[in-house]
Amino acid sequence: MDTKVKQENKCDTEVKQSAIESLETLGPYILEQDNAKNFVYVSDIPQLCKDDPCMLGVDEAGRGPVLGPMVYGIAFCPLSKKDILKQLGFADSKQLTEEKRDQIFDEMNRKDFAKEALGWAVEAISPNVISMSMLRRTKHSLNEVSMDSAIGLINSAIEAGVNIAEVYVDTVGPPEKYQAKLKAIFPKFKITVAKKADSTYPIVSAASIAAKVTRDHALKVWKFRERPNEEVNTFGSGYPGDPITKKFLSEIDLVFGFPRLVRFSWSTAGNALEKKAYNMEFEDEADAKDAQKASYGSEKLSKYFAASKNENRKRHEFFRDRCLEHVVDI
């Protein structure tokens, strides 16, 4: 991956270490974060996860919606304690009700038997960062953003001392290519990348629930910088088919467009802006400064290195002999 992209992503991410001890403390923790940047949270690491070989699962929530963060999650526990995953009732988070997901998340952070053998971490990727990554001059696709987050979270677990032996990942793109990429980065681990891994491997389901519950509560406590009087969640689920989301997207500021909640790199948002918003041209600050400097009566040094537009240079004889002319329009 491009080193520059790595550095920019690192600058956009805040690592916080305040404890999330229950579902009740999740919302207040998220509320303290700057929602224009990414943030990473790593739970306390059980001693068993440092001493015994562990399995680690990776999954995401919020990849498709037109608004809100995309959240990547990991969960890990000793191979010898995998029965805890069944005891907590982990299953594909999309097949569980919101109430059931919240209940499981609360229990995995409160129950002693869970805290002694299960850990987790999430990265909330800001819609602002997603949009800037996808629209920058050197494009950074959503798949690349996703893979970077997954790799970063695995590294966070390693740095925290988790004794990883096996890694299970819900795929982004072709599973074979993704698995080969991860295997090259983490050659000591047994790595399995599969489609719908969250419904096959309970440890991936645990990661999925951590990611999904974090995203749900990030939307519930979202703070608008642009609309300070906005009521809580007037924007729906964020999926383009949601009538509440459709209504929210129709309310466009004709000059500034959407608030940062919206992923303006999505075609749904872009099409809405093209239909309703004004075409705006903002003067680049650097251009304005250059123009100001040039107006003081001193010519810019660069002028002496540029050819005059009216300069008639004699063409080289190679071109004259062959009657070759410079073609502007074809």
What are the tens digits of pLDDT across the range 290-305?
A: 555 555 555 555 555 5
Q: What residue type is assigned to position 17 of the chain?
A: Q
Three-class SS state of 77: strand
Run of H or E residues at 148? helix 142-159
d(CA 23, CA 101): 10
CA–CA separation, 31 vs 25, rounded Å?
A: 10
Q: Give the angle 183-78-76 at the CA atoms, nearest 5°.
A: 60
Least trusted range by pLDDT, from 11-25, 66-80, 177-191, 298-312:
298-312
Q: What is the pTM of this model?
A: 0.79
Would you say 242 is a known binding-site residue? no
- Yes or no: say if 200 and 192 are a contact pair by the CB < 8 Å rule: no
Tell me the domain boundaries of the chain: 23-221
Mean pLDDT of 122-133: 94
Q: What's the pLDDT band for 4 if we cut at 50, 70, 90?
A: very low
For residues 57 and 169, is the Cβ–Cβ distance under 8 A? yes
CATH fold, domain 23-221, is: Nucleotidyltransferase; domain 5 (3.30.420)
Is 60 annotated as a binding-site member? yes
Q: Looking at residue 248, what is its pLDDT?
A: 86
pLDDT in tens, 239-287: 888 898 888 888 888 888 888 899 988 888 888 888 888 887 766 666 5
In tens, the pLDDT along 5-32 reads 444 454 555 554 478 999 999 999 999 9
Coil, strand, or helix at residue 271? helix
Residue with tokens 């299970």: 168
